[in-house]
Amino acid sequence: MPNPRLFDTHAHFFTDDTDRFPIDVTGAREGEAEVRARIARDPATAERLLALWDQCGVTGGAAVQYNTIYKTDNSYTLSVADVHHNRVSAVLILRADRPETPDKLRALATRHNVCGLRLFGFPDAEGAYPWLDSPAALKTWEVAASLKLTMVLMYAPGKPTPAALRRIIALAKRFPATTIALDHCGWPGVENGVAGTIGPEHLELVPVANIVFKFTQINLNRFRETGIDAAQFVRRIVDTYGAGRVMWGSDYGNTKDAYPDMVAQAIAATKLLSDAERARVLHDNGARLFADRL
């Protein structure tokens, strides 16, 4: 039986052509020297990843701006999405708290093949997440809503955090026509087995239909490390939120696993789904949100 089709909602692209596309690796978690060596040794270029997509049955995907290497300079991500617009679209990273961001977002999204905006950040000293919904950030949300972009959110640290999730719920209700995609499923719990992956803070998201969930290799690796059966988790999250709200993304370019192994693990993680559910989770939901906009 042939493998199912896939759509990769979470691929990070970067090139070793640092003269044309300058890098900024300050603050990289793995260390600046190691990131520079990885860029030279194993660049995640469009040519390399599209060949892997052809090999693995991936029809297309989202180029998620890679903060580790480019911060908010989206030049390479936009280049990939524009040149390969039949298979790739761009998810930008911009600072929503900057006054120039709304106009910049509108300019980039109307001139390039952009499908979404990703916001990322840590809590402040009080444990709040003002970068999500400050008055300045809300102006960016309004522009994204007017352009019908998907909002992709990743809060840190990587654990279930009610303070972040409740702000996200409020934003989803404020912008009901905007789809909000939670990177890495909004950080499932990993301390109490499959039963603990979707805790009370995540159950509050159940009635908020415009919040959707991306499970990635980061999740699958954490489950393996903590003894959680990934297939049981995917079955549980589909049962909790519905098959139309769950999708797969590789985290290629950041997670170091070989791409064919990521695809094999994603397919294995959906083995408890029906064929129709699997098609939605591995391909159709992602393609609907992140496919070509040109």
> Is 201 domain-assigned?
yes
Q: Looking at residues 182-210, what average pLDDT do you find?
A: 97
Mean pLDDT of 164-181: 98
| Residue range 197-223: mean pLDDT, rounded | 98
Residues 258, 68, 124, 206: is their CA dihedral positive or negative? negative
pLDDT of residue 293: 61
263 confidence band (pLDDT: 50, 70, 90):
very high
Query: pLDDT exceeding 70 applies to what percent of the chain?
Result: 98
Q: Is the pLDDT of residue 1 over 70?
A: no
Residue 3 has pLDDT above 90, yes or no: no
Does residue 157 have a cis peptide bond before it, meaning omega lies within 30 degrees of 0? yes
Tens-digit pLDDT profile for residues 5-38: 999 999 999 999 999 999 999 999 889 999 999 9
The pLDDT-based confidence of 238 (bands split at 50, 70, 90) is very high
pLDDT score, position 146? 98
**Does the pLDDT of residue 135 top 90, yes or no?**
yes
Q: Are strands 180-182 and 246-249 parallel, antiparallel or unpaired?
A: unpaired
pLDDT of res. 97: 86
Q: Can you tell me the distance from the alpha carbon of 161 to that of 153, in angstroms, rounded to the nearest whole number?
A: 13
Mean pLDDT for the chain?
96
pLDDT at 36 (0 to 100): 96
Q: Quick one: average pLDDT of 268-287?
A: 98
Q: Residue 52 has which token pair?
A: 């892997």
Q: Where does the pLDDT of residue 136 fall: very low under 50, low under 70, confident under 90, or very high at 90 and above?
A: very high
Mean pLDDT, range 166-189, rounded to an integer = 98
Mutual angle of helices 46-56 and 259-269, in 10-degree steps: 40
- The reported pTM is 0.97
Q: Which two tokens stand for residue 16?
A: 């070793």
The confidence band for 294, taking pLDDT boundaries of 50, 70 and 90, is: low
Which residues constitute the domain of residue 187? 6-290
Q: Span 107-136, mean pLDDT?
A: 96
Closest CA to 216 of 171, 180, 175, 246: 246
pLDDT interval class at 204 (50, 70, 90): very high
Is residue 230 in a domain?
yes
The mean per-residue pLDDT over the stretch 154-163 comes to 95
Q: Which residue type does 162 have?
A: P
Residue 1 maps to a domain: no
What's the number of domains the chain is made of? 1
Q: What is the mean pLDDT of residues 196-207?
A: 97
Is the pLDDT at 101 greater than 60? The verdict is: yes
Q: What is the CATH number of the domain that holds 243?
A: 3.20.20.140
In the prediction, which pLDDT does 291 show? 87
Asked if residue 225 has pLDDT above 80, the reply is: yes
Are the C-beta atoms of 187 and 159 separated by less than 8 Å?
A: yes
Is 68 exposed, middle or buried, given 0-12, 13-18 or 19+ CB atoms closer than 10 A?
buried
Nearest to 190 by CA among 220, 152, 162, 149: 220
- At residue 292, the pLDDT reads 63
The three state secondary structure string of the chain is CCCCCEEEEEECCCCCCCCCCCCCCCCCCCCHHHHHHHHHHCCCCHHHHHHHHHHHCEEEEEEECCHHHHCCCCHHHHHHHHHCCCCEEEEEECCCCCCCHHHHHHHHHHHCCEEEEEEEECCCCCCCCHHHHCHHHHHHHHHHHHCCCEEEEEECCCCCCHHHHHHHHHHHHHCCCCCEEEHHHHCCCCCCCHHHCCCHHHHCCCCCCCEEEEEEHHHHHHHHHHCCCHHHHHHHHHHHHCHHHEEEECCECCECCCHHHHHHHHHHHCCCCCHHHHHHHHHHHHHHHHCCCC
pLDDT for residue 70 is more than 90? yes
Residue 43 located in a structural domain: yes
